[in-house]
Chains A and B, each alone.
Chain A
């Protein structure tokens, strides 16, 4: 075991940099790295940090729902006393006890992409400097409006939601319902969660279409799920191919390609994770010197990408 540890120690020494001078460092803690959205966010944040000559520490939980792991990562940044922490929380309520700890340690916290639950913040008397993220409701509304128009204002549609209890997913769904609600001839016949996951969404699309064969449109609260639904609708021999239109959210590269290629994925709402990454670093620097100087909301734009 001792020899094994020596090997491990050398490996570690090889891949680790000593942590010095963290007082002005910005930590960006994301939900995951297995999604192009966050990779884009990280890339832009790194570019902004380099431009400003500031030390940026980036890490992420293993998956979207792993809040326990994320809190552990966040806690190590408190120990290191970084200058500011920007976080895309894996749980908008569950992250609050951590925010309280950060407040006590006087490390400012910025929420990026996903809001931190306001009511829970009040109950814990905890404080977040700002929220930097897309107007998810507006994005959902754009998607609903477009799908409604495309279907000629009548027919059945379904929603594949994000992880239950996630503010982001709820805002997109509610925005979509508002947008599609403008068309009185359209009925939303099913709304189920795909847990942000491609494979789960495939299964959900399958069961929705089995139960409601007349569905003409599906809104998915992110593009991972849209790609999942697409692979079911679009698979060889499928009768749904010419019948069902899918609208996604994120406008990831694979979704853009599918839209361009004329597959049943007809549109997706583009967010600008690079804007979020850049703003996270810049605003974190501001708030390090002047706590409380930021507006509560810093919206980043949304845009519908379609054929």
Chain B
């Protein structure tokens, strides 16, 4: 089995799009190419990019995870509450990732053992996890953590902002998983043709469980970034995170029918979305207009992808 994805040229298409977009904003907004602003762009992309990395794996198997936004909120609240009780900050990180992974594994179990369509299973989790987040926090934001914790977002290592390091570490790990391990092969095989994959000896259940678990864990990890950024864990956090993550995936060339796409594309997709919003902010375009433009970009990206595919065949 190979790992079908977009060809090199197709992949560089989204990269070209990213650079073109940056060129446009650079020309229109003189402050766009300042050091601080470019840092802002990447920082703002980090949360979505990390969630989208997990989403890519799920979509590659032919599934979908609608629960990531709610799982993000629940994980953040869990971490926030235990740190509020005086627990050590690194424990907070583990709790968030663990809470996220648990929700993800429940999703995975519902899909594999419960034979529920991923859309339904994760739709249920979307509501349940949001409800739990509101319940355990009594609807109140949890805030006021140690400076060590807050530096997860605001700190730097050798001059590089912390969220950037976390984001690249995640992408490197997922790239390795998808491109260099048997697990990666199974993910692509599952999305290509589940029955064929099963006949070829792929443990489809284990692979499915793993991708949903991973998606949940990454939602938990990004919850830590969001919480550190605002020094507040909010039960309402990540309200449209699932849609933003799916958008990053499809802009980056991942096919929603599964089996096709590259993790690098998703990173570029997330950056394109972040550049768009940041640039439009700099240009004083209202948030309402921004939503319209982002909608157009998503549809256009997939449309152009389809066109190119048609030609290739």
Contacts of B138 in A (CB 8 A): 164
User: With an 8 A cutoff between CB atoms, is A283 at the interface?
Assistant: no
Instruction: Compute how far the CA of A20 lies from the CA of B297 in the bound complex, rounded to whole angstroms.
Output: 28
User: With an 8 A cutoff between CB atoms, is A59 at the interface?
Assistant: yes
Instruction: Compute how far the CA of A20 lies from the CA of B17 in the bound complex, rounded to whole angstroms.
Output: 27
In the complex the two chains form, is A94's CB within 8 Å of B141's CB? Answer: yes
In the complex with contacts A66-B239, A71-B229, A17-B20 CB distance below 8 A = no
In the complex the two chains form, is B281's CB within 8 Å of A68's CB? Answer: no
In the complex the two chains form, is A1's CB within 8 Å of B13's CB? Answer: yes
Contacts of B237 in A (CB 8 A): 68
B40: contacting residue among A16, A79, A123, A124, CB under 8 A: A79
Instruction: Compute how far the CA of A76 lies from the CA of B28 in the bound complex, rounded to whole angstroms.
Output: 14
Instruction: Compute how far the CA of A65 lies from the CA of B134 in the bound complex, rounded to whole angstroms.
Output: 14
User: With an 8 A cutoff between CB atoms, is A9 at the interface?
Assistant: yes
Instruction: Compute how far the CA of A234 lies from the CA of B153 in the bound complex, rounded to whole angstroms.
Output: 49
Instruction: Compute how far the CA of A91 lies from the CA of B278 in the bound complex, rounded to whole angstroms.
Output: 21
Q: Give min CB distance, B138 to chain A, whole Å.
A: 7
In the complex the two chains form, is B296's CB within 8 Å of A8's CB? Answer: yes
Instruction: Compute how far the CA of A68 lies from the CA of B231 in the bound complex, rounded to whole angstroms.
Output: 11
Q: Give min CB distance, A282 to chain B, whole Å.
A: 22
User: With an 8 A cutoff between CB atoms, is B34 at the interface?
Assistant: yes
Which residues in chain B, 240-282, are within 8 Å of chain A measured between CB atoms? 277-282
In the complex the two chains form, is B230's CB within 8 Å of A67's CB? Answer: yes
Nearest residue, chain B, Cβ from A10 = B24
User: With an 8 A cutoff between CB atoms, is B283 at the interface?
Assistant: yes
In the complex with contacts A33-B286, A72-B277, A72-B278, A1-B300 CB distance below 8 A = yes
Which residues in chain A, 211-268, are within 8 Å of chain B measured between CB atoms? none
A76: contacting residue among B37, B47, B140, B236, CB under 8 A: B37
Contacts of B304 in A (CB 8 A): 1, 4
In the complex the two chains form, is A1's CB within 8 Å of B234's CB? Answer: no
Contacts of A17 in B (CB 8 A): 283-284
In the complex with contacts A5-B21, A62-B287, A79-B37 CB distance below 8 A = yes
In the complex the two chains form, is A80's CB within 8 Å of B31's CB? Answer: yes
Contacts of A51 in B (CB 8 A): none
In the complex the two chains form, is A94's CB within 8 Å of B287's CB? Answer: no
Q: Give min CB distance, B220 to chain A, whole Å.
A: 17
B232: contacting residue among A9, A11, A91, A164, CB under 8 A: A91
Which chain A residues have a beta carbon within 8 Å of chain B's beta carbons? 1-2, 4-5, 8-9, 11-13, 15-20, 33, 57, 59-62, 65-69, 71-73, 75-76, 78-81, 91, 93-97, 119-120, 123-124, 164-165, 193
Since A9-B20, A12-B283, A68-B229 are in contact, a sample of 15 more A-B pairs with Cβ atoms closer than 8 Å, ordered by chain A residue number, is: A2-B20, A5-B20, A8-B21, A9-B24, A12-B279, A12-B280, A19-B30, A59-B287, A69-B287, A72-B40, A76-B40, A79-B34, A91-B230, A94-B231, A124-B231
Which 6 pairs from chain A and chain B are nearest by CB? A16-B283, A94-B230, A164-B139, A94-B232, A76-B281, A4-B300
